[in-house]
């Protein structure tokens, strides 16, 4: 009986090891293929270190990591994909799908912003240190619509001032899947970048308008009003009549 138990346990350990090995090998093989095709740098990960792939794809600096879900030595079960913005977005920005944070929802929900779009506010949790900047960033209806569509496909994504982080609940181990994810990541980074540039343009225009000095009505004209000119002319003529020189001319 003890022998059977030992054999069963050994078989179970072997199955767990094989699944882990197969998943890790699949991840390595798939990522090596993408890395070699796209000019990315691949780090296979030694011992407990997770494999990492870094580089630039679709105009975005990216980092991909295969992770074991908090169980060291276990099989890879998630893929973390991070894209970096070239220029930071509004300070303190945080965007996530409502309900994706679990128990942390209460903490992150404190101070959340409502954009004024009922559907958008229902789907996404938005935070930011500068409310006006965040509102300008998300002012476009098209931006909000495309952002909701992205979070529909990748509900565990989080956006901060400097990064977009996608946590995928499976090992992405094929070239096509990785290419698809990186293309979508590039699209959402471009979406935020374009919205940020529009925000800067609007902010610059508002700054120019606010910097125009307000000129009081009484000094808006470079010349005095016509009434003032007429009064000045009459005053000069009166002075001329009263002067001695004018009397001498009349006597002669």
Q: From first to last of the 252 residues of the chain, give the pLDDT tens digit.
A: 777 766 777 777 665 655 555 556 555 656 777 777 767 888 876 655 678 889 998 999 999 988 877 666 666 678 899 999 999 999 889 999 987 665 555 555 566 788 899 999 999 999 888 889 999 999 999 999 999 999 999 999 999 999 999 999 887 777 788 889 999 999 999 999 999 888 665 544 444 334 444 434 333 333 344 344 344 444 545 554 555 544 454 444
Output the CA torsion 71→73→77→78 (10° steps).
80
Q: What pLDDT is recorded for position 20?
A: 59
User: Can you say whether residue 70 is alpha, beta or left, with left for phi > 0 and alpha for psi between -120 and 50 degrees?
Assistant: left
Domain coordinates in residue numbering, the chain: 2-210
Residue 127's DSSP bridge partners are 94
Q: Within 13 Å of residue 160, how many CA atoms lie on the same side as its CB?
A: 9
Contact 57, 48 (CB under 8 A): no
Distance CA 195, CA 179 (A): 24
Lookup result for tokens 């070699």:
36
Strands 41-43 and 78-84: unpaired
Distance CA 68, CA 61 (A): 23
């Amino acid at each position: 009986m003890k022998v059977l138990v030992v054999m069963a346990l050994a078989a179970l350990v072997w199955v767990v090891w094989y699944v882990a090995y197969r998943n890790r090998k699949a991840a390595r093989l798939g990522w090596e293929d993408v890395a070699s095709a796209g000019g990315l740098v691949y780090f296979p990960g030694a011992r407990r270190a997770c494999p990492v792939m870094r580089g630039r794809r679709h105009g975005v600096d990216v980092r991909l990591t295969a992770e074991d879900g908090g169980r060291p030595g276990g099989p890879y079960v998630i893929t973390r994909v991070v894209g970096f913005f070239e220029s930071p977005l509004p300070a303190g920005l945080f965007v996530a799908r409502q309900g994706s944070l679990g128990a942390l929802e209460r903490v992150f929900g404190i101070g959340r912003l409502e954009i004024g779009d009922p559907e958008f506010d229902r789907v996404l949790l938005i935070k930011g240190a500068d409310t006006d900047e965040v509102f300008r960033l998300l002012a476009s209806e098209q931006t909000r619509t495309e952002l909701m569509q992205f979070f529909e496909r990748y509900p565990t994504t989080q956006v901060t001032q400097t990064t977009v982080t996608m946590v995928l609940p499976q090992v992405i181990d094929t070239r096509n899947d990785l290419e698809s994810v990186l293309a979508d990541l590039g699209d959402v980074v471009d979406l935020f970048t374009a919205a940020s540039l529009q925000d800067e343009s609007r902010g610059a225009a508002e700054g120019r308008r606010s910097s125009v000095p307000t000129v009081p009505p009484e000094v808006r004209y470079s010349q005095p009003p016509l009434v003032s000119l007429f009064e000045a002319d009459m005053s000069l003529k009166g002075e001329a009549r009263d002067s001695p020189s004018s009397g001498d001319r009349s006597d002669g």
